Structure 1
Amino acid sequence: MALRIIITTGGTGGHIFPALAVIEALRKRRPDIEILFVGGEYGPERDIVQRAGVSFEGLPVRGFIGRGPKAVAAMFAMAAGIVRAMGIVRRFSPDAVMGFGGYAAFASVFAARLMGRPCALHEQNAIAGAANRILGKMVKRVCLSWNQPAVGASFPHEVCVLTGNPIRAGIAALGSMHRAHEGAPRLLVMGGSQGARAINNMVVSMLPALREAGVDILHQTGANEYESVRRGYLDAGVSEEETDRIVHPFIHDMAKAYAECDLALCRAGATSMAELAATGTPAVFIPFPYAAHDHQTSNARAMEEAGGGILLPQKKAEAMAADGSLAPMLIELLKDGRRLEAMRQGALSLARPDAADAVATELLALAGDNSK
């Protein structure tokens, strides 16, 4: 009889893509495995997951921390989500359930534990999220991305194992072959799967200087910011044809994007960090300053300490963009091949390209399967 696994998460690509990487590893290990992905109804996960050919069911859950009066309605939605998740668990009858963070994962893992199913978690960040900290006391295994005291202290020591943050196989494969491309230096701009308004605005303001220096750009804006950023490029004198080559709401082929860039300007979400490390991509990090527990700054600091990146707090970066000093810094770095190579090696030192397999091994063992 085929093993059945529920994978659950949602909200952002930072949660979703590690989950899909583990699904890839599970399917490679056990082609007959049956997998159901349970996510939120209101995030991007349904489209991303179904595009990957994985069965999906949605829960009517939303975040309630920091939502003010709307938190009450969100808590009722969470209760309804837990009830619906119990129905999904009863119907699908999984051998194990694994959550990758977020409110959909909280509802699903909590429901599975109420029903006596073995559960595991994966924590992407250097500082654990609220949902995972609560669930960590209930599950049999917690897979960690970072070997840092802050994240390890959030969970019982005996259930923790260091696996790294899973990334998709096509991206993991770049680590041993990634080389600087020929032609103009290329800057990859990305604010995570949903974009980052502050970074988008900085780049648009720097377009004249970057283009004068011959810098090519590949820019992921996020869906909500796409039209305004596209307009910013056109207003800066970039042709419509070139703008459409450069500016994208979402980049599906990230392996190609990493392979063809020399430097990334980005947020410091855990999945971006894992992909940058695995591909040896140097980066300038502008962490999202309002992330829970400022975990993005902790993520970026770990990469900076390894020599793979430069940490710029958002206020400092905005000030540098305003006084005209950010563009020259980026241009100088893009043209310094020796420094970029040193940063590439620093990033690679944190790479865990086998993280998806490591998590899959833990999950299969939890489900009662010890095949290698």
Structure 2
Amino acid sequence: MGKVLIAVSGTGGHVYPGIALAEELRSRRPDLQVLFTCARGKPGVEWIRNAGFDVRTVRLRGFARQPGWSWLVFPFALIAGGFGALALVAGQRPDLVIGTGGYVSGPFVFFAALLGIPTLVLEQNSLPGVATRIASRFAREVHVAYPEAVERLPGRRNVHLSGNPVRLSVEQGDAAAFRAEHGLDAERPVVLVLGGSQGAQALTEAALGAGRELGPDADVQIVIQAGRRGYADAQREAATAPDNIHVTEFVSDMGSAYAAARLVVARSGAMTLAELAAAGRPAVLVPYPYAAEDHQTLNARHMADRGAARLVP
């Protein structure tokens, strides 16, 4: 029996590739012990447990990009979180540590390498994040999803172009079950609007506005994933909108959602794009304009240039 520790930051883009990888590892090695570590207070903790895996939380936080008081406390939080990461790695002594990018994976990969434990980093985006660029210097292997990412890690002999791991359930959805769960007509086509695991206010507002203009007699149904922060407001707006608009806080069964959808309107996070490709769904991609170094536009352009999606800047 071996043990693998997977470090994730807590949002869908980092959690779901970790879950996909864990599911594949366990299918090949049923006796393998898989343990996740995740930032405390993040929704990813619940998703990991729902997927059937054990998770330990750590007090690590990301670096705020805008100046503020958080800059003053960040060094102290980093030191405290770093000690927590070291204690967990030293205490668990896994046979392999995997980081899926983001601020949590960096300390775990660093301390594992320091202790002589094999390490692996997954980078989902076309533009490697800061954590990946740093971790690539001491990780045994770095696996990326886009050729552009290889080019942005020059001189790294440990970089491999592997693609993004996708959960098997994404390709095994039940369209009828999704329609029944959300009270959708069995015949009318469905447009699925996704803002990532945290929702997107601009997409939600645009979808509600489009639904109102189309009216209740339009031959289409719109399902909007509004996210935790935007759900209450979106639900209030939807109460006065045509009844062919349906708002939900979060879609847990993405495979069934994709199976039911005729078209997907979404941000262009790397894991959303990987799932769209696996599910074979056409998409209109609206990149999040404030993503670090505009990496979502690079992600979307990779799909649009190959005829797999339409890019709306």
TM-score (ref. length: structure 1): 0.77
Structure 1 distance, partners of 2:11, 2:270, is 11
Q: Which residue of 2 aligns with 1:18?
A: 17
Structure 1 distance, partners of 2:86, 2:193, is 41
Q: Which residue of 1 aligns with 2:254?
A: 254
Q: Shift in Å at residue 184 of structure 1?
A: 1.4
Q: Which residue of 1 aligns with 2:213?
A: 209
Cα distance, 1:155–1:17 mapped onto 2, change above 3 Å: farther
Kept in 2: contact 1:62–1:78 (CA 8 A): yes
Q: Which residue of 1 aligns with 2:100?
A: 100
Cα distance, 1:155–1:22 mapped onto 2, change above 3 Å: farther
* Mapping of residues 1-372 of structure 1, within 5 Å: 2-69=1-68, 70-148=70-148, 150-154=149-153, 156-173=155-172, 183-211=187-215, 212-238=217-243, 246-313=246-313
| Structure with greater helix share of residues | 1
Kept in 1: contact 2:150–2:161 (CA 8 A): no
Structure 2 distance, partners of 1:184, 1:82, is 52
SS at match of 1:165: coil
Kindly provide the amino acid, as one letter, of the partner of residue 89 in structure 2. Answer: V
Cα distance, 1:42–1:152 mapped onto 2, change above 3 Å: farther
Q: Shift in Å at residue 237 of structure 1?
A: 4.5
**Residue-pair matches, total:** 300
SS at match of 1:251: coil
State the percentage of identical aligned residues: 37
Q: Which has the higher contact order (CA 8 A, sep 6+)?
A: 1
Kept in 2: contact 1:61–1:74 (CA 8 A): no
Q: Which residue of 2 aligns with 1:318?
A: none
- Structure 2 regions of 5+ residues with no counterpart? 174-184
Structure 2 distance, partners of 1:247, 1:95, is 43
Kept in 2: contact 1:64–1:72 (CA 8 A): no
SS at match of 1:27: helix
Kept in 2: contact 1:220–1:248 (CA 8 A): yes
Kept in 2: contact 1:137–1:155 (CA 8 A): no
- Structure 1 regions of 5+ residues with no counterpart? 175-180, 314-372
| Structure with greater strand share of residues | 2
Q: Deviations over 1:66-100 (max 9, x none)?
A: 14231231232122111111111111111110100
Structure 1 distance, partners of 2:302, 2:87, is 41
Kept in 1: contact 2:136–2:156 (CA 8 A): no
Structure 2 distance, partners of 1:218, 1:152, is 38
Kindly provide the amino acid, as one letter, of the partner of residue 212 in structure 2. Answer: P
Kindly provide the amino acid, as one letter, of the partner of residue 57 in structure 1. Answer: R
SS at match of 1:31: coil
Kindly provide the amino acid, as one letter, of the partner of residue 229 in structure 1. Answer: A
SS at match of 1:38: strand
Structure 1 distance, partners of 2:134, 2:90, is 23
CA RMSD of aligned residues (A): 1.7
SS at match of 1:117: coil
Structure 2 distance, partners of 1:230, 1:215, is 19
Q: Deviations over 1:25-69 (max 9, x none)?
A: 000010000111011003112111111111111111111141423
Kindly provide the amino acid, as one letter, of the partner of residue 205 in structure 1. Answer: G
Structure 2 distance, partners of 1:112, 1:28, is 25
Cα distance, 1:19–1:155 mapped onto 2, change above 3 Å: farther
Structure 2 distance, partners of 1:152, 1:28, is 33
Q: Shift in Å at residue 151 of structure 1?
A: 4.1
Q: Shift in Å at residue 222 of structure 1?
A: 0.3
Structure 2 distance, partners of 1:102, 1:276, is 22
SS at match of 1:103: coil
Kept in 2: contact 1:18–1:165 (CA 8 A): yes
Kept in 2: contact 1:85–1:108 (CA 8 A): yes
SS at match of 1:143: strand
Q: Shift in Å at residue 203 of structure 1?
A: 1.1
Q: Shift in Å at residue 182 of structure 1?
A: 6.6
Q: Shift in Å at residue 107 of structure 1?
A: 1.9
